[in-house]
Copies of this chain bind each other. A is one copy, B any other.
Amino acid sequence: MDLLSDQLWAVGRVESPLTDRDAAPRQGDEGAPQAGIVFHPEMRDAMADLRVGDKIMVLTWLHQGRRDVLSVHPRDDVSRPRQGVFSTRSADRPNPIGMHAVTIIDIAGDVITVRDLEAIDGTPVIDVKPLLGAVHER
């Protein structure tokens, strides 16, 4: 495969009571706790317009993911047939990017607190984007 010449930056890190990948919920809406996103101080201008109540997509780098895995049993259930990882949300995949739809419930300095984030403590955050509403609201 082609290696991209550009490299990813960690724009922040997840701060969470979850420390064990195997014990974490599979998705944010399956019992994940509230968690902090601690932005790098250089990101202050990029995060300046985030507001409490905003629904955002947080992209993370699932640093414990196995990058050589191309198919998995969905939800680690061996009674289910293996599926190609592009049809699953497995953390094991060629580029282990996590995608988390969350709501901001607090902002204090460089830290935002969100609900329902299943990423474990220390997970690098690589991007934050607004969830889009209707075309006329953009």
Contact = CB atoms under 8 A, between A and B. Distances in A.
A84 B11 CA distance: 13
Interface of A: 1-4, 6-11, 26-27, 29-30, 40, 42-43, 45-50, 54, 56-57, 59, 61, 63, 67, 70-71, 74-75, 83-89, 93-95, 97, 99, 124, 126-130, 132, 135, 138
Contact of A83 (B40, B49, B84): B49
17 contacts: A1-B10, A1-B42, A1-B43, A2-B124, A3-B8, A4-B126, A8-B95, A26-B138, A27-B135, A43-B94, A46-B71, A50-B86, A59-B95, A59-B97, A74-B138, A88-B129, A94-B127
A59 B130 CA distance: 15
Nearest to A61: B4
**Looking at chain A's contact residues, is the secondary structure mostly helix, strand, loop, or mixed?**
mixed
A56 to B, nearest CB: 8
How many copies of this protein are present in the complex? 2
Given A1-B10, A6-B63, A26-B138, 11 more contacts: A1-B40, A4-B10, A7-B7, A30-B135, A43-B94, A45-B84, A49-B83, A49-B86, A50-B84, A93-B127, A94-B127
